[in-house]
Amino acid sequence: MLSKALETKLTKLLPDVDKGVVRIFVEIGPNSLGEDWLYFRVVLKDDPMLATSSAALGKRLQKIATALRDRAARLNVPMFASVDFVAESELPRQKRKTA
Amino acid sequence: MTLAADLLDQAAHLAALERGRPKQASLRRAISSAYYSVFHLIVEDASRYLVAGSRLRPAVARSFEHQAVRAAAEAVGAVSRKPTGAHWFRPHLNDPISPELSFICDMFIDLQERRHKADYDTGATFTRLQAGGAVGLARHTQLLWPQQRNTHNAHAFILASAKLLRAR
């Protein structure tokens, strides 16, 4: 499965992406137009900054999103990667295991 | 204040409402407004670039279609990520495409998809970070755009968004 292989490859590179990233879930599914899309769900360590909606938070999230999209492109993934973020405490309990 | 700036402020306000357990409606509207803030930012600048007379600008702005702007953003992203591949849009762009413009285009696509989910997928649930993150990304995009708006590649993106440049 492409998504599983990608999840493994990206998870190994977590510290390079951002110190606060604890896990990445990868899924392939249809977007609103019915095209195949890659969905990265990035789990971030709880941090007071996450409660803001500031440009500084946006800049940090941009770095993570760009790094993940670039890596997907280097791995020849032919689809757009949508990157979504979730705080560790917002995850359902069974999914909270740190990578 | 521009419409884009007002929408962004409104999105931030909605994302921060109801401490503790936010209402899903507030988070959904925050995500939706974050997308529209970026859409209107691009369209406002695009209409200013395309017509000098301010009386015509609202009509030009109204002519922009969400899917056309998305297609243009996808074209910029495709050229940026495959610098040597063939693409109809490549001859219109200067090399290299800045990472900032590439991010703005990615963010437009990503936020549009999130807006679609927030507005129409009643089975989805959203967290405060998802809403606050979308607003933060939109805010960062709004800071990057003014540095890019007068570049050749941003103009090519605008022309493609207006369907004045397209695949033949």
How near does any CA of chain A get to the CA of B107, in Å? 9
Average pLDDT rounded to a whole number, residues A56-76: 88
CA closest to A83 among chain B residues: B110
Contact status of A67 with chain B (Cβ, < 8 Å): no
Query: Would you say B5 and B122 are in contact if contact means Cβ atoms under 8 Å apart?
Result: no
pLDDT of amino acid A3: 76
Average pLDDT rounded to a whole number, residues B31-49: 96
User: pLDDT tens digits, residue range B62-108?
Assistant: 999 999 999 999 999 989 888 777 899 999 999 899 999 999 999 99
Burial class (CB in 10 A: 0-12, 13-18, 19+), B116: middle
pLDDT of amino acid A97: 58
What pTM does this model have? 0.90
Whether B26 has a pLDDT exceeding 50, the answer reads yes
Contact status of B46 with chain A (Cβ, < 8 Å): no
CA closest to B67 among chain A residues: A33
Tell me the percentage of chain B whose pLDDT exceeds 90.
86
Number of A to B CB contacts under 8 A, please give it: 89
Query: Would you say B62 and B138 are in contact if contact means Cβ atoms under 8 Å apart?
Result: no
Residues of A in contact with B110 (CB under 8 A): 65, 82-83
* Alpha-carbon gap, residue B21 to B5, rounded angstroms: 27
Average pLDDT rounded to a whole number, residues A32-47: 90
* Alpha-carbon gap, residue B17 to B23, rounded angstroms: 8
How near does any CA of chain B get to the CA of A28, in Å? 14
Question: Going edge to edge, which strands form the sheet with A81-87?
Answer: A21-30, A36-44, A81-87
Runs of H (alpha helix) within chain A: 2-12, 14-17, 55-74
Give the mean pLDDT of chain A: 85
Residues of B in contact with A57 (CB under 8 A): 132-133, 136
pLDDT of amino acid B71: 95
